[in-house]
Structure 1
Amino acid sequence: MKKKQWQGWGPGEQAEQHYLVQPRALAGGGDIRHVSEFLRASGWQDRSKKDGPLLMESPDRTVRIAYDPYVLPGGWTIHGQADGLNDKWSAYLGRQTPVEIVAGLTDALNRPRSAHAPNVWAPLEEQKWHTRFEGQDYTATSPDGTTWMQYQQGPDGGVMWWTGAKDRQGNGWTANFTPNTPIHLVQAFSAELASPDPVMRPRGRVPLSAQIRTWSVSVKPSQLTAWQQARITTARAAVWARNSARSTQPRATARPCAPANGTRTRR
């Protein structure tokens, strides 16, 4: 393992050993607060029961996100209600889906949609993933062969997005999205899936896999707190910006009504 030292330590703190892990898809689940704290800061309501699984609800009550590690196979479930643009949709992500990749989708739920048409495959192609047709399915595979994304069509004509990662020891995860899942959310997920940036895991939380690369780093608690706070600050700033934009929009004023007989009165 390579050793790397981070700058900017504060006085009197004891550094803790962490590891940077590549590829990120095989880094293990990680700390779910990476997802949940961003949602809270974005105005989501925590509907979790005491000592129960995580359950978050969007401010407009149209989307629910749950994480349940207490059932098999466990993991993330995301349900969206029908709205003016989409029918109801769902996404299911395995327990070992890295939280950084999950956040690609969940963070995007709090951002306005781009004016550009979404393209799920673009982030994968930019990172030189291999794309091919397999019958009626279209598949993209990472250069190291550990991670894939597939647009899958079943015998009954039904379609879905299917993705995941697996090493030679059989460790990994899978996820799927129903056909009505908004494409910009699937693209946000694929962008984090394909990102070459490593993710960080504390000592003892790095999966045993021959197909990952790790770098040892010394990190102080204040640094971890600062990085987490930066994410929260970003979420709160976005909420403030949206609320400010709404409050500055001009209100429509009522036009004076003409008398019933169609004549106008003079003052």
Structure 2
Amino acid sequence: MVRTSRSSRAAIDASQPIRFDQKGGPYRGNLRFSYLGGTLRVINAVSYDDYTRGVLPLEMPTSWHPEALKAQAFAARTYAYTSYKGGSRDYDVTDDQADQCYGGTRVEVPSSSLAVNLTLGKVITYQGASIRAYFASSSGGYTLNDGCWMNNVVRSGGSWGCSAGSAYLAAVPDPGDRLVTAPANPRASWTVTFTSDQIRSGVLRCGGPDIGVLQGVDVSNQVPAGVGHVISVRVFGSAANTDLRADDLLRSCLGLRSTMVRLNPF
């Protein structure tokens, strides 16, 4: 079995020769070409381990501890393995943040390649099946169960609640998240300031009512309560109030990096 990763696309012009841009470096495995919807798709067909060699340096600093690199190798390989689409699609994963960043052999370095070799062919499983090995650059100090992600947050009574998530992705504290200093993680802690009009516009972009002048924001609906990620946001205004899913308002409509947020008085 091979893992496929889309490496680039090029528009077809019958009057011109086809040129393939390999993004600045060579790739392991083979190249496949498909033509769909007027687009030439170039696909890198590669083994799971060789694919992981081209992922690891782009998803974790290669100067980090060997055990951290090995853990990341497990996660990256497992993510690819579980993403296998069979014959239902001509590729399995993209080479960017939509799945995992992948750069081929040009990004490989000895420390990360050693981590791949020391975990060769191994994936993470739960009850006999490979897991969906999600990972992120920062948890904000607490992870989030997948039942509390995006559209998995659903109306529950008068507010919002989480759906049943995967047992292996239970929310757990991550105290080491903010302790990393070499290099420092800019996503571990950050501050963004919004005006009343910006919040008002964000609510409108999310399909909410025109709240008028902002009077208050409530982000107390957190999982776990008091320490975790916000799953819904109540916004109070002079003209209307609303209660929106946090992923929609905070991330999609206001552009925040995470739902692990707290408010400063205003």
What TM-score do you get using the length of structure 1 for normalisation? 0.25
With normalisation by structure 2, the TM-score equals 0.25
As a proportion of its length, which structure holds more strand? 1
Which fold has the larger relative contact order, with Cα–Cα distance below 8 Å and residues 6 or more apart in sequence? 1
